[in-house]
Amino acid sequence: MSQFVAIRRDLHKIPELGFQEFKTQQYLLDYIATLPQERLEIKTWRTGIFVKVNGLQPTKMIAYRTDIDGLPITEETELPYRSEHEGKMHACGHDFHMSIALGVLTHFVHHPIRDDLLFIFQPAEEGPGGALPMLESEAMKQWLPNMIIALHIAPEYPVGTIATKPGLLFANTSELFIDLKGKGGHAAFPHLANDMVVAACTLVTQLQSIVARNVDPLDSAVITIGKISGGTVQNVIAERARLEGTIRTLSVESMQKVKERIEAIVKGIEIAYQCEATIDYGSMYHQVDNDEVLTTEFIEFAEQLPNIKVVRCKEAMTGEDFGYMLAKIPGFMFWLGVDSPYGLHHAKLTPDERAIDKAISLLTAYLSWKGNN
């Protein structure tokens, strides 16, 4: 077992939610402290970390970003290194992302290149969103890179495969929370109450008409309601109900249109069911828009490597707050195949650890080439 697979297993045991990654941050700092420090500069920001590797004769700075938080999911694997934090899991592969970043960092500490490298360990990707405030931090302003890259594990691709494309890769996303307040009452006297369970069910059905009838068929959008809660007991008409979901679109314009239609439909529900409604869009993530030139260059570079298969994939409805960084800094993100039968955010996600060393080799080769040319 390689050193960085072992690190991944250590990190897998201690998943923490956004801006609560205290053990994770300390683990990362402890490892970084074992490396030769002559060319390193380190800054912390909340639970995140910046590590700058000073180049030999720098003409630019290249950044590599990894996310570090876990998800509020109870792990259902039988792995000997499964999560030790009840109700939390690295179910999106951020343990993989961190171990890969440490592997690449370690290589360049021992084998410096001409240009400066910046490693960004970003908290709160899963929520409430760490990329944008980290981008606006003083440390990032002082060390603003000329380009930035990142990866994300992809359970559907085999180990040794990467996938990406120039232009739009991931969608615009927004959380969606709708609270309804009516009038509760006895189940035997429905005419004296305003039933928010019925209102919520009607609202879910009407929301599905937005994509079908308000979004250009040649565009794409998704509205998913993943959770409904309401009521207290079976024979009491519910006074309150809450819908929780997500919106995903392939354009900023479609996101705005979808939200306008949600607000109009919710107003109609208020009138029809004589209730009060509030909408909260929660965390919103900017689309991941890969730089055309840099991504094409990376694809052509990777295609020349003997143990890497490159797939020119289509855009996905996945959300990633790395999009905020790409909106300000040229760069790209790519999928890393990890061949798991279970998908992202699944309680039984089991990525193939052989992908870790392959990713480290790919990235060290690419950054060595890019940082010396």
Catalytically annotated residue among 16, 21, 67, 291: 67
- Using the 8-state DSSP alphabet, how is residue 89 labeled? B
67 is catalytic: yes
List Cβ neighbours of 26 (8 Å cut-off, separation of 6 or more).
none
Q: Are 180 and 197 in contact (CB under 8 A)?
A: no
Query: Which helix (H) or strand (E) covers residue 47, if one does?
Result: none
Tokens 């590590």 locate to: 51
Residue 145 CA to its chain's centroid (Å): 21
Phi and psi (nearest 5°) for 199? Answer: -60, -40
Annotation marks residue 175 as catalytic: no
What single-letter DSSP state applies at residue 158? P
**In this structure, is the dihedral angle defined by the CA atoms of residues 298, 299, 300 and 302, taken in order, positive or negative?**
positive
Which of 69, 75, 116, 126 does the annotation list as catalytic? 126
| Lookup result for tokens 């500069």 | 41
Q: Residue 59: exposed, middle, or buried by beta-carbon count in 10 A (0-12, 13-18, 19+)?
A: exposed
CA gap 194, 200 in Å, rounded: 11
> Among residues 360, 371, 368, 370, which one has the least CA distance to residue 151?
360
The alpha helices in the chain, defined as continuous H runs, are 3-12, 22-33, 94-110, 131-135, 138-142, 196-214, 252-273, 292-302, 322-328, 354-371
Q: For the chain, what's the residue count?
A: 373
Specify whether the backbone of 24 is left (phi greater than 0), alpha (psi in -120 to 50) or beta.
alpha
Torsion over CA: 269, 271, 274, 275 (sign): positive
- The residues annotated as belonging to the active site are 67, 126
